[in-house]
Amino acid sequence: MHALLRTLITAVALAASVLQPALAQDWPTRPVTFLEPYGPGTNLDAITRYLAATMGAQWKQAVVVENKAGANGVIGTEQVARSPADGYTWLFTGPGHFTNEVLMGKVPFDSIKDFKPVARLASVMLVLVVPANSPYKTVKDIIEAAKKHPGKLTYASAGSGSAQHLSAAAFQQAAGVQFLHVPYKTQAAALTDAVAGQVDFTFSALATTKAQIESGRVRALAVTGPRRSQSLPQLPTVAEAGLPGYEFFSFNAVFVPAGTPDAIVRKFSDALSVATRTPEFAELAKAQGFESDFADAQAWTAAVPAEKKKWQDLIRVSGAKNE
């Protein structure tokens, strides 16, 4: 009896190993959904829509981009987690994939167990800006003022646990200073009040801030990445400008329901690798202010545990709470 059971198990495993590559070879045979758990108008959205058009033309299949915003990304992420693991629904997301488990206290999915990593697409740095008439001309000026007046300098963010909040919290910790956090509902609202001088500074996405910088309505002091931005190469990094060792950048990445066949995941990851190495994608990166930073399924899977720890630690250090 045991021998028969072992034989059946071996036969099923062998059949699966034969069928998976054949299944991937034919995939996709119907429309595919790229789901973002956030609203449109972001770096992530620009990347997702570019890749949807590219993949649709390559596959000769419709690729639908669905913005399923709500509950800081939880609603859309849960929808993907509960979708059939057949390669027809893919999650395009960012650090909220990991931070919500700490920020919310409880979410209806496991960011590791319920998903399979597919690829990292890009890294997104922020830019530190002050109002045009601000007395702060450098990163060192902000640090010195914060040391003289603890808790008095204000910064705007897109809300508790947002990238703008976490970048400032990391800045505080690295510099040994204390700022006053002023959360807003959106990044655009935070930038509007920074332009108006209602707050002392903000960290903002390059795509959101570039027009304001070029028009002179805000003064850019530095970018948060480990190297200068290709979009604003004249700006130093925060580390170069006065806070050695500081860096902050988020990611845009792709996940899929955990049971999705490996052969389909590899096929899509390989296709994304080609699509993100084209001159057109490089132009998109420069225009949108992100850095192309591709990692395939194998490399991204290896990086995910450390990435999860990094973002969850940042939430804990920042003291962010769900609002």
Over residues 87-143, the pLDDT tens digits come to: 999 999 999 999 999 998 899 999 999 999 999 999 999 999 999 999 999 999 999
Q: Read off the pLDDT of each residue in 216-236 and give the average, rounded to a whole number.
A: 94
Residue 9 has pLDDT above 60, yes or no: no
pLDDT at 16: 46
First to last CA, the chain: 58
DSSP secondary structure string, 245-313?
Answer: T---EEEEEEEEETTS-HHHHHHHHHHHHHHTTSHHHHHHHHHHT-EEEEE-HHHHHHHHHHHHHHHHH
pLDDT at 3: 59
Q: Read off the pLDDT of each residue in 63-70 and give the average, rounded to a whole number.
A: 94
What pLDDT band is residue 227 in, cutting at 50, 70 and 90? very high
pLDDT at 185: 82
**pTM of the prediction?**
0.84
Q: Read off the pLDDT of each residue in 187-202 and give the average, rounded to a whole number.
A: 94
C-alpha to C-alpha distances, 128 to 13, 131, 151, nearest whole angstrom: 54, 11, 18
Gap between the Cα atoms of 66 and 56, Å rounded: 15
Question: Helix, strand or coil for residue 193?
Answer: helix
Residue 52 has pLDDT above 50, yes or no: yes
Token pair in block for residue 248: 């902050």
Residue 78 has pLDDT above 60, yes or no: yes
**Beta partners for residue 151, in sequence order:** none
Q: Whose CA is closest to 185, among 68, 39, 307?
A: 39
Q: Read off the pLDDT of each residue in 149-154 and give the average, rounded to a whole number.
A: 97
pLDDT at 36: 96
pLDDT at 12: 41
Residue 184 has pLDDT above 50, yes or no: yes
Gap between the Cα atoms of 186 and 204, Å rounded: 11
Which one has a higher pLDDT value, 189 or 116? 116
Name the burial class of residue 149, with classes exposed (0-12), middle (13-18) and buried (19+) by CB atoms within 10 angstroms of its CB.
exposed
Residues of the chain with pLDDT > 90: what percent? 77
Gap between the Cα atoms of 274 and 294, Å rounded: 10
pLDDT at 11: 42
pLDDT at 6: 55
Residue 41 has pLDDT above 90, yes or no: no
Q: Read off the pLDDT of each residue in 146-152 and give the average, rounded to a whole number.
A: 97
- Structural domains of the chain sorted by starting position, each given as residue range(s) with its CATH number in brackets: 30-124+250-318 (3.40.190.150), 125-249 (3.40.190.10)
Q: How many helices (H) and strands (E) does the chain have?
A: 12, 10
Give the β-pairing of 154-157 and 201-205: parallel
H or E stretch including 142? Answer: helix 139-148
Gap between the Cα atoms of 285 and 122, Å rounded: 9
Residue 13 has pLDDT above 60, yes or no: no
Tell me which amino acid residue 276 is: T
